[in-house]
């Protein structure tokens, strides 16, 4: 008889725990539905460049077109230059920029 009481109390405990977890999950889902979506920039510490231009240079024999921010010459994602025509008017010549680290992010 004592084994039966012991087993039933274990079953009760497991059922109560499972019920508590299910309630927490449901309340999280309801909370998430009531929370407005985050419309801020998802990439923290990243700002969109104001003005960008393509830069052409040769590095270790490789011909490279890279997108750079005009104001500081900082390399930015190439996607920011996709609507720009590829010309080398901003930084003419094929000299490797001093801030080029050998790896570009697209």
Q: What is the mean pLDDT of each run of 10 residues along the chain (106 residues)?
A: 54 56 54 52 55 94 93 92 92 90 71
Is the pTM here over 0.85, yes or no?
no
Backbone angles phi, psi at 68, to 5 degrees: -135, 150
**The pLDDT of residue 55:** 95
Structure tokens at 62: 């490789």
**The pLDDT of residue 65:** 94
**The pLDDT of residue 102:** 75
**The pLDDT of residue 84:** 92
Q: How far is it, in rounded angstroms, from Cα 56 to Cα 94?
A: 6
């Amino acid at each position: 008889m004592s084994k039966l009481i012991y087993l039933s109390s274990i079953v009760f405990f497991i059922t109560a725990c499972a019920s508590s977890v299910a309630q927490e999950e449901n309340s999280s889902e309801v909370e998430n539905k009531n929370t407005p979506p985050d419309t801020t920039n998802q990439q923290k510490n990243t700002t969109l460049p104001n003005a960008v231009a393509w830069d052409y240079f040769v590095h270790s024999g490789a011909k490279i077109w890279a997108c750079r921010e005009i104001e500081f010459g900082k390399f930015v994602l190439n996607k920011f230059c996709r609507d720009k025509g590829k010309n080398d008017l901003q930084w003419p010549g094929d000299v490797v920029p001093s801030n080029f680290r050998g790896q570009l992010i697209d």
